[in-house]
Structure 1
């Protein structure tokens, strides 16, 4: 009996060592190959609902299958907008003509409407019309049949201390412009901000209101200032004047803009989350689950030529999910708890995929012991694991495993955001893996594989593997 007992203990010890050492199997090459594929132009920036996103799904399905895992799709509907050719934006007055280039001088809002315009332009400050607050950038100004230029962001100041600005999203401001008769809107970032927002691809909008079917452009500060300088105005000075006096300063500009935008809007377009499960080895604990998730989507392509690769955001997180599935499939004996590997759709639309998954979880939510989110994890210089103040015991498992990695910083956060948020709201403990200084190329055309820190990406994936292994092999729960 003693001999049999010793043999069993020896086998368990050998398995434990084997499982722990498998973190070394995480492949920098495979991670980078997955990023390169998902970032290819033929995938068109992986906008949820697009042909490119479907190609990304099929790629992931083949990967899961090659690891011996059966994947399942979880289908739902969302808004979708295909921005087609042509994309024309010109300005002309009596003295000069300016021809602006998409991707360099301007970008379209993801849910821009269509229009072929040749009309007057009006500057309307912050694009706010709020009668309750007594603030109206459109008061006394005629914008019917014209294009308005407005600041994309709201003022830092408020009219009073209790009421917030309600026009939060660009779609809100587009609707305000449209309700006053405008037939197009051009957004410009506030030039006096410390770090004015670049022209970015974005599908984050207020989905509670319908698409506003007018052209919606986000132009660079330099582009707008060229128009203003030809009218003897300076955009920075205008913002300063409005902010100082907290009063509108709207006026018509000389010259005309020519805009030709062609889009195909679909109110309800099918898209999918994708998940696969490795069943646990323990007869009881296999009914408990650890979810590893990352969003597969990005912000798409515009007029065929301008696309957003999304290498770090979030081909990196998706590559890590696939690589973790591969390494865990190498286990001779699976972890005690079951592991769900999931790729979310529509994070860029407002975390719609993770919300749908959490609310329609394929396993009982009460049996999910934790969820790890991976987003923007391959650019920067070190590893940050968020949510540690909410779930210190869970975070400490990651910190303990940092002895093998030596790249995790000591700081953490007290909030659960992005795709982790929906699971937190369902009562599931979360960790959010990210890298420090990771957002250099966020939603820009420069988010390419060339910007990836390959060693860092491997290290954070190794840390994720070790942390997952520990959580999957314990019977502890982590709600704080």
Structure 2
């Protein structure tokens, strides 16, 4: 167990005028016993893996309601805790073939294709192919692959990641650290803004940070989206992927060398008409349903219109009736731990004798596993104005590997929120370190990103990679054997053997960050190098 620093010079460290012993008393309301009970309940078989729109969702929302009612929180949505989120499930018929210049590519073998449009039938017919390099339009980096192009009705072929990844010493973008321009989501969005009919991303394992099997398995089958007024007709008709082997074949058929064209695209904004045409028909089945975000608020004592919002996703993958034996994806680590942390942090705030000056809200969102849809919906339909949202603090898959000497910052250097994180981490004598795989773009893959895109400074951090001592190091080795391979699998279950000390420290750290911001009048800003800024 780590030596506690909570009693050292608290009065000098705290912002606002709340008594130090009151803060420490509140801090200690984040308890291992509570965290264990919340995780154990939310990850139990009764909750059936917490898939949106199932009985598991109903049990989950009922549990949150009991907890926040007991703590005296105010429902955030017109007298209710629940914000409806309309979802559409689109499942493409796998019986499709992509034809490019007479060469045919089979579904999940050399290509994957689908649509975000709420349409049972979309097709490309003899759509001209245009290679657009990385498909980036980034004025702050003086980079626009679409400059001077008219791609309306055409299909763009795009490299994965951004220009800095494979040329880190060039000074382009942020080197090996992925920016949002490297994410596949951005590439489809930009192609849509440019008026393209189709968009095909070339998959390569290193710059994507995952293998082709992830593309074939994750982008096939049911895909979820938000119901929109225009039925997503503003999106490109067809969104797809090409394996690198398929791409090499396509380029060669067009008389181009893929490797050479890729090198050209790394040097500066680049595009080239390929002289080939693509055709594919995508037939889909559609189903609409309603899920819910959960929002609870502790009103501020002086400036209740200003909010600090904590986020965590409550959903997981549900159950698979076709699977023999254990078929429930309990999602204990991902993300019953984060949901449990928000309840415990909420308890700490509720215990304060004097409320912070600003309001503190807890947003537990749906459909993160389907593409950050719950947080995206909130960002597009905020209950509290985003201009009055001071900061977002996000928690996803907490530390179950024991206490650490460091805190891993996902997206390190993006905002001034890190000064609050640094102060809170120092309370347990920890230092801040960069995430272990910045090239993977993890910052763009959790719910804080939805608010960041709208300009709200957002922080995502977790216990770091360095164990506190040899005893914890030994525990980590043993637990890693058990946990490895359990991400999005039925073995992601609650275990009594989990060490919750690091989780408690991280949850207390998050409480302190929110407390300090809510008790002061500072408005943290994005850093100048961040791709996000307040409007």
Question: What is the TM-score with the length of structure 2 in the denominator?
Answer: 0.57
Distance change >3 Å, CA 270–CA 247, structure 1 → 2:
same
Does the 8 Å contact 1:311/1:452 carry over to 2?
no
1:420 is matched with 448
Mark the runs of 5 or more structure 1 residues left unpaired by the alignment. Answer: 1-11, 82-110, 115-123, 139-147, 173-189, 211-238, 249-264
Shift of 1:277: 0.4
Query: Which deviations, in whole Å up to 9, do the C-alpha atoms of 1:292-348 show, x marking residues without a partner?
Result: 010000111111751211111111111111111111110000111100111001111
Match of 1:164 among 137, 157, 161: 157
Does 1:466 pair with 2:490? no
Q: Note the residue ranges of structure 2 that are not aligned, 5 or more in a row.
A: 1-15, 76-80, 114-128, 134-155, 161-183, 189-204, 226-230, 234-242, 253-284, 466-482, 527-535
Note if 1:397 corresponds to 2:399. no
| Cα distance change of structure 1 residues 152 and 33 upon mapping to structure 2, 3 Å threshold | farther
Partner residue in 1 for 2:48:
44
Task: Compute the displacement of 1:205 (Å).
Answer: 2.8
Correspondence for 2:83 = 74
Aligned length: 349
Structural mapping, 1:340-419, within 5 Å: 340-380=361-401, 382=404, 383-391=407-415, 393-407=416-430, 409-411=432-434, 415-419=443-447
1:131 alignment partner, one of 100, 103, 106:
100
1:426-474 deviation digits (Å, cap 9, x = unpaired): 2111101344579852211111112744122111101101111111111
| Residue equivalent to 2:223 | 205
With over 3 angstroms needed to count, the CA separation of the structure-2 counterparts of 1:243 and 1:355, relative to structure 1, is: closer
The 3-state SS of whatever aligns with 2:109 is: strand
Shift of 1:30: 0.9
Q: What residue is the counterpart of 1:338 in the other structure?
A: 359
Equivalent residue in structure 2 for 1:270, among 279, 290, 315: 290
1:76 deviation in Å? 2.1
How far does residue 408 in structure 1 lie from its aligned partner after superposition? 5.3
**Counterpart secondary structure, 1:290:** strand
Matching of residue 302 in structure 1 with residue 320 in structure 2: yes
Supply the distance in 2 between the matched residues of 1:20 and 1:277 (Cα, whole angstroms): 22
Q: Label 1:159 to 1:34 Cα distance change in 2 as closer, same or farther (>3 A).
A: same
Shift of 1:206: 6.5
* Secondary structure in structure 1 of the residue aligned to 2:525: coil
Is the partner of 1:320 in helix, strand or coil? helix
1:317 paired with 2:285, answer no
Any idea what the Cα deviations from partners look like across 1:71-119, whole Å, max 9, x if unmatched? 31101211359xxxxxxxxxxxxxxxxxxxxxxxxxxxxx5889xxxxx
Change (3 A) 1:149 1:469: closer
Find the residue that maps to 1:362 and give its secondary structure: coil
SS of aligned partner of 1:77? strand
- CA-atom RMSD in angstroms: 4.0
Is residue 291 from structure 1 mapped to residue 300 from structure 2 by the alignment? no
CA–CA distance in structure 2, aligned partners of residues 241 and 336 of structure 1 = 58
Cross-structure match for 2:63: 59
Deviation digits for residues 203-242 of structure 1 (CA, Å, limit 9, x no counterpart):
87374899xxxxxxxxxxxxxxxxxxxxxxxxxxxx9997
Secondary structure at the aligned position of 1:288 is classed as strand
* Corresponding residue for residue 18 of structure 1: 22
Measured in 2, the distance between the counterparts of 1:266 and 1:242 equals 29
**Residues 45 and 307, structure 1, Cα contact 8 Å, conserved in 2:** yes
Change (3 A) 1:371 1:439: farther
Q: Is the 8 A contact 2:391 2:456 kept in 1?
A: yes
Task: Give secondary structure in 2 for the equivalent of 1:49.
Answer: coil
Q: Distance in 2 between matches of 1:149 and 1:425?
A: 31
- Structure showing greater radius of gyration is 1
Distance 1:52 1:40 in 2: 10
CA distance in 1, matches of 2:430, 2:24: 18
- Whether the aligned pair in 2 keeps the contact of 1:135 and 1:247 (CA below 8 Å) is no
Q: Compared with structure 1, are the counterparts of its residues 342 and 26 closer, same or farther at alpha carbon in structure 2 (3 Å cutoff)?
A: same
Residue 34 (str. 1) matches residue 28 (str. 2): no
CA distance in 1 between partners of 2:522 and 2:342 (Å):
23
Following the alignment from structure 2 to structure 1, what is the Cα–Cα distance between the partners of residues 444 and 132? 28
Structure 2 CA distance for partners of 1:312 and 1:130, relative to 1, 3 Å: farther
Between the aligned partners of 2:381 and 2:245, the Cα distance in structure 1 is: 50
Partner of 1:150: 109
Q: Distance in 1 between matches of 2:210 and 2:23?
A: 48
Q: From the superposition, tell whether residues 277 and 243 of structure 1 become closer, same or farther in structure 2 (CA, over 3 Å).
A: closer
- How many angstroms apart in 2 are the aligned matches of 1:469 and 1:357? 23
Question: Structure 1 residues 295 and 408 mapped into 2: Cα distance closer, same or farther (>3 Å)?
Answer: farther
* CA apart distance, 1:379: 3.6
Superposed structure 1 runs of 4+ greater than 6 Å apart = 151-154, 158-161, 165-169, 193-196, 198-204, 239-248
Whole-angstrom distance in 1 between the partners of 2:108 and 2:417: 48
The normalised TM-score by structure 1 is 0.62
Q: Secondary structure at the match of 2:309?
A: strand
Give runs of aligned pairs for residues 93-104 of structure 1, distance below 5 A: none
Q: CA deviation at 1:38?
A: 1.0
Counterpart CA distance in 2 for 1:424 and 1:271 is: 23
Residues 30, 242 of structure 1: alpha-carbon distance in 2 compared, 3 angstrom cutoff: same
